[in-house]
Structure 1
C-alpha cells in the first residue's frame, strides 16, 4: 500500500478530557464491575456519560478497566502497559506473529532433517531424491501461499468467522496478513535442504559413489543462487535496495526453477543408466517431479493475467494523484501496477467509485519515493496490471463489529477501500492526520470520510501541529466501544501505534514489512 514518510510526535493538542457527574461516575464504576460477557453491547441509556460516549468494559480486557479516575475534569490517560518490559519486547517485537510462523516452519524442517540423519545408518547413502523432494516441497508451499488466488481463499475463509465468535479467536485470525512468515520460512528451509543435498552429493563424488561432473557443477551453481537470493531478501537489505531485490528475486527465482528441472533430469538420467529404467518412469515416481510442476504452474499463472489498464489521472495536488479506472474489482482489494512489468511492481489499495457508479474505481498515489514522485508529476494514462486484485491488512477489519481506523496522509486511500465499500459490515471510526487534507485530497474524499463517520477526527497538521496519535487512537477506541484498531501509516508510526495498543491489551493491526 502507498504510505507517506511523515513521522509523528506529541503536541499540546493531544490532551482530551471527559467529564462526569457524581451519579454518572457511580454508574460508570457499576458498569466496570457488572459488564456482561465479551461482545455485549447494550447499556442502560441512563448510564451514558454527558459526552454521549457509551463505555462497555469487557471483564477480560484490562485496558478498559485501567482508565484513571474519571472525575470532573480528570484527564483520560493511557493505562499502564501490561507485563514486563522484556516480555513485551519478545511478544510484540522480537517474536511477533510473522517470526512465530517463520520459526514454526523452519524448526519443523530442522526437526525433519535431524530425524532423517538419526534414522539413517550410513549417512553417505542417503537417497538424494529425498533431499530433492524436501527442497521442492518447501519451495512449492512458499510460492503457493503468495499467489493471488491463495491469498483470496485465505481471506475469504477468515471472513467466515462471525462477529459472535469470541474476540480472542477473531484477534488471532486477524493476524492472517502476516502469513509472509510461512513464505520466508519455507524459502530458508528449502535452501537448507538443498545445502544438505549439495554436501551429500559432494561427499559421494569425492568417494566415487557419484561421478557426474555435470550434476556436481550444476548443484553448486544452484547452491550459489539460493544463497544470493536469501541474502538479498534479508529485511534490512531488502528495504535499502528494494528495486534490486525485486528484480533479483524474480529473475533468480525463475533461473532456479529452470536449473532445478535440469538437475532432476540429470539425476533421473544417471539413475536410468544404473538401473536400466526409463527416465520418464523414474521422474513420475519422484514427488519432487510433481512438486516442480506445481511450482512452474504457480510461476507462470500470474503472467497469464497480465493486462494493460487504462487510467484517467486526477491531480489532487502537487503531492498526490488519483488514478481512475473502469474495471470492476472485488471489495476490499488492491492491485499492483507497473510501467515495466518485468522489473518493478507497486501495490495500491483500490477504492470503489465514490460517485455511486456500479463499476470502476480508483487508487491514490502520493509522492513517497522516486517512482511515486514521477507518477504524481507525470501520470500515465495506462499501466500494466498482473494477477488478480487481492485483499490486504484492512480486509481483516470485517471480522470485527466496530473498529477504529487510524491513518496519516495518503494512507486514507487504502482505508477508503473499506470505508467506501457498499458491502462493509463493520462500523468504523476514523482518525486521519494529514497536512491540508482538504487541499491535497479534495472535497470528494474528505466528504466520503465524513459520510462514513460523521464524528471523524480529521487533523490538519499544518494548522494544528502533529498530534499524539497514540493517545487519540486510544481515546477513540474507548469512546467507540471498538473491538480493534487498524493503522495505515508510515512503517515507524504504524509500529509505534500497534505496539502501544497491543501492550495495553487493545487488539491492533498494521502492515508489516512483508505483509
Structure 2
C-alpha cells in the first residue's frame, strides 16, 4: 500500500479512520490568512449570515520543511488516554467489582443469591449500548433538546458521552463475564444440591461468553477483523442460546426438593428471565433491518471504490455493508447532500480482501442494515460553528456534515484527491461548499503535508469555531488531538483503540 507506515500495524478500514495514504505530517512554512485572498478568509460569527463568495481563489503552495517534533506534556497525554471511554469503563467495572467483593465476602447477601440476575443485567446493558435503535434515539434526543443554546461545556460533554458509550459496553460485558464465573464457582461449591445439567451449562455458557469477550479486545479487533467478527458475533449468539438454557434450568430446578418445577408462571417471575429476554430483543432488533439493496460502484482509481445507494440520509451516519446477509460486515461513513437527495454514497479505500473485491468484481447488490448508526459527526447540530478536518478516505465520514450545514468548515488533506476520488466526490464538494469554508491540500502537488496545527489554529480563530472533529490515520489523529489539547481547542477524534463493528 502506498505510504505504508513501518512499525505501525496496518488497521482495517473503518468509517472514522482516514487510513488511505497515511503520509507523515510535515511542516508548512506559510500563513493561511496571508496566502488566501481576502475573500477566502472564513467569516467570523458576525458575518455568518452574509452572502458566500463563489469565486475560486488560488492558494500558493509553499515548500514544506522537515517535521519538527513537538514535546507534549504528560498531563495532556494522560488526559487523552484517560478519556470518557476509559472513565466509563473504570466506573462500571469498579462498581461491579465492589459489589462482587461484598457478595463473595458475605456482606451483600442479595448479590450472592441473585448473582444470575446481575450477570444478565450486565450483559443487557452492554448489548444495549451497541444497539443501533437505542443509539439513534439517544442522538435524536440530545440533538433535539440541546442544539446550540446550552453552555459550550455542556454540549461538549454531550458529544463526549455519546461518542464513548462503548466504555459502558466494555465495562458491563467484562463484569458480566466475571459475575458469571462467580455464579458457576458457587454452583460447584454446592455440588450436593445442584443438578449436573445446571453445572454443565454453567461451564459451557461461561466459555462461550469468555471467547466472545476476548475476541473483542482491540488487538484482535483491529488486526484480525474477520476473526473478531466471527467469534464475537457467532460465539456470542451461541452464548445467548446457552444463557437461555442456563437460566431456564437454574430457575426451574428446586435444590430443596431436588425436582423440576415446569410451571411457566413461576419461571416468568424471575428477574434473570426478563433480563435475558431483553438481551435477545436488543441483539435481534438490528437484524430485522437487514436488506439486500441495488448499488452502483464507481472506480475512479485503483485505490478507491465509490458505492452509490438510493435515497438521501441525514449527516453524521455510518452504515454497514456485506456481500452476504450475516457474514463480514464493514462500516463506512455515509455521504449525502440532504435527507431528500436521490442518492447517498460510501467511500471504500482498497486495503483488504473485502474492499479489493469491490474493485476486482463489482457487485450489483450488497447487504446492508437499512437503519444506520450515528457517529460523532451527528452531534454537529449541537454547535454554532465547527471545523471538520480529515485525511484520505476520512472524507467519507466528514463530508456530509459540511454538505448539509453552511456553518462547518472543511479541511481535507490528501494525495491527488480529485484524481483519486473522482468527479462524484469532487462535484459534491464544489457544488455545495464555497471556497470561503474549504481548504483542500494536495500533498503530492505541494510536496508534502502542511503544518496541520498551524492552518487548523488559524481556521479555528477566523471561522469563530466552537469545536473540531478529526478523522485521520493513527499518527495524524494523535498529533492533531495533542496539538488541539495544547492550544485549548475542543476536539473529538477517531477512537482507534475502541472501534467496534458489531
TM range, normalised to the smaller chain?
A: 0.7 to 0.9
Corresponding position: 1:13 with 2:1: no
Rounded Cα–Cα distance in structure 1 between residues aligned with 2:112 and 2:264: 22
Query: Equivalent residue for 2:103?
Result: 116
In the TM superposition, what whole-angstrom CA distance separates every residue of 1:157-208 from its partner, at most 9, and x where no partner exists?
A: 2212131211111111111111111111110011111011011111112xx2
| Residues 298/498 of structure 1: CA separation in 2 closer, same or farther (3 Å cut) | same
| Residues 150/276 of structure 1: CA separation in 2 closer, same or farther (3 Å cut) | closer
Query: Equivalent residue for 2:5?
Result: none
After TM superposition, the structure 1 = structure 2 runs for residues 395-414 of structure 1, keeping only pairs within 5 Å, are 395-414=378-397
Equivalent residue pairs, number: 451
Q: Secondary structure at the match of 2:149?
A: coil
Q: 2:135 aligns with which of 151, 165, 170?
A: 151
For structure 2, the 5+ residue unaligned runs are 1-14, 46-69
- What TM-score do the two structures reach when normalised by structure 1? 0.81
After TM superposition, the structure 1 = structure 2 runs for residues 212-291 of structure 1, keeping only pairs within 5 Å, are 212-271=195-254, 273-274=257-258, 278-291=262-275
After TM superposition, the structure 1 = structure 2 runs for residues 192-211 of structure 1, keeping only pairs within 5 Å, are 192-205=178-191, 208=192, 210-211=193-194
Q: Which deviates the most, 486-495 or 132-141? A: 486-495
In the TM superposition, what whole-angstrom CA distance separates every residue of 1:476-496 from its partner, at most 9, and x where no partner exists?
A: 112211111111122332232
Deviation for aligned residue 1:376:
2.9
Deviation for aligned residue 1:454:
1.2
Rounded Cα–Cα distance in structure 2 between residues aligned with 1:483 and 1:90: 23
**Greater C-alpha radius of gyration:** 1
| Residues 346/314 of structure 1: CA separation in 2 closer, same or farther (3 Å cut) | same
Query: Equivalent residue for 2:123?
Result: 139
Deviation for aligned residue 1:140:
0.7
In the TM superposition, what whole-angstrom CA distance separates every residue of 1:323-353 from its partner, at most 9, and x where no partner exists?
A: 1122344443221100123221111222225
In the TM superposition, what whole-angstrom CA distance separates every residue of 1:287-346 from its partner, at most 9, and x where no partner exists?
A: 100011111112222222221010011222221121112234444322110012322111
Corresponding position: 1:96 with 2:114: no
Corresponding position: 1:184 with 2:137: no
Q: 1:339 aligns with which of 323, 336, 339?
A: 323
Rounded Cα–Cα distance in structure 1 between residues aligned with 2:123 and 2:408: 39
Query: Equivalent residue for 2:156?
Result: 171
Check whether the contact 1:329–1:389 (CA below 8 A) recurs between aligned residues: no
Corresponding position: 1:458 with 2:444: no
CA RMSD of aligned residues (A): 2.8
Check whether the contact 1:325–1:361 (CA below 8 A) recurs between aligned residues: yes
Rounded Cα–Cα distance in structure 2 between residues aligned with 1:402 and 1:121: 51
In the TM superposition, what whole-angstrom CA distance separates every residue of 1:61-99 from its partner, at most 9, and x where no partner exists?
A: xxxxxxxxxxxxxxxxxxxx99x8332222111x11111
Q: 1:377 aligns with which of 346, 360, 385?
A: 360
Q: Secondary structure at the match of 1:316?
A: strand
| Residues 295/10 of structure 1: CA separation in 2 closer, same or farther (3 Å cut) | closer
Rounded Cα–Cα distance in structure 2 between residues aligned with 1:245 and 1:310: 28
Q: Secondary structure at the match of 1:347?
A: strand
Check whether the contact 2:229–2:328 (CA below 8 A) recurs between aligned residues: yes
Deviation for aligned residue 1:447:
4.1
- What TM-score do the two structures reach when normalised by structure 2? 0.83
Query: Equivalent residue for 1:506?
Result: 489
Rounded Cα–Cα distance in structure 1 between residues aligned with 2:158 and 2:247: 39
| Residues 9/277 of structure 1: CA separation in 2 closer, same or farther (3 Å cut) | closer
| Residues 267/441 of structure 1: CA separation in 2 closer, same or farther (3 Å cut) | same
Check whether the contact 2:198–2:249 (CA below 8 A) recurs between aligned residues: yes
